[in-house]
Copies of this chain bind each other. A is one copy, B any other.
Amino acid sequence: MGEFELIRRLFFREGPPGAAVLLGNGDDAALLRPAAGQALAVSSDMLVQGRHFLPDVDPYDLGHKALAVNLSDLAAMGARPCAFTLALALPRVEEAWLQRLADGMLALAEAHGCPLVGGDTTAGPLTLSVTVLGEVPPAQALRRAAAQVGDEVWVSGAVGLARLGLAVLRGEVTLPGKEAAAACAQLLRPQPRVALGLALRGVAHAAADVSDGLLADLGHVLAASGVAAELDVPALLEGPAVPACVRALPLATALSFILAGGDDYELVFTAPAAQRDAVLLAARRSATPVTRIGRIVAGPPATHPLADGLPRVRLCDAAGRPYALPDGVQLAGFDHFATM
């Protein structure tokens, strides 16, 4: 069995073909048919060794994360995953390593009904490039440009935890075993918030996933929408979005991790105040915690969401006055993924 045939067998397994898949791997292209009335959402992300992961990464985690960061983009559109392609450059073919890579990737794919339908393998420096495709009724897509003045700002799950996981892996912070494991899991095996994204269709206005950091990714929504936001820092700091192990850090470190840590793959989204109950219902239905952290206010006109240098987020205290950040807060952002 040649190396290519080995890779094909490890990655293309028997399983349900996927509802939208007319033709899977083995032809010049796969064929997908979105259901009537649905648009196809498309997103590509690339992971490169040394930049997004270290050579000693567990390949199971790597496979999981390469797909998870793409599924997270679909979640942020309110799209249901349909299928994905994988372009893989490998320095060498080691069966046990590749088996774990495939196991991690395909376990997540199966959990989301999102089969691998094609791709490419080549010799080269270890690089994984995933393109994911999902379905969403176009009028219900959670677009970055759809935030409106009067919306409230929400975030799912836990923020700052992945950055704490990185600090643990780097030996900068020591935590009890259970907390260290939770922080590292958020970094290494993020759970894309697909169920929440689907539940927020027709409820939320705008959404983005938190890959670069809460302020940066919220900033993308604000720039695309031509608005600004007030973030209630005490509500954020003391609310359920901040895990106890992050809250226990020195305040400047905690705020750095929460506001700019990145890599959490949570959703930051906006919804009209009148939809507050509907948001909470969507959160319950998708078994995903959400925290209300601020509100949308008038702001500068819209620009390209990734090319916006304008300050659009005002940090506030509980009384709505400017919140003074303590010395030492780092808001430069994680910037693992500069997504076009």
Contacts and interface: CB of A to CB of B under 8 A. Distances in A.
Given A22-B39, A127-B125, A338-B120, A89 B29 contact: no
A323 interface: no
A46 B122 contact: yes
Contact of A31 (B85, B136, B339): B136
A203 interface: no
A92 interface: no
A124 B33 CA distance: 35
Contact of A133 (B8, B23, B42): B42
Interface in A105-155: 117-125, 127, 129, 131-134, 136, 138, 141, 143-145
18 contacts: A9-B307, A11-B340, A27-B145, A28-B208, A29-B41, A29-B42, A29-B132, A31-B77, A31-B141, A34-B40, A42-B117, A42-B118, A45-B120, A46-B127, A86-B340, A118-B339, A120-B129, A120-B338
Interface of A: 4-5, 7-9, 11-12, 22-23, 25-34, 39-46, 48-52, 73-74, 76-77, 79, 83, 85-89, 117-125, 127, 129, 131-134, 136, 138, 141, 143-145, 207-209, 224, 304-307, 337-340
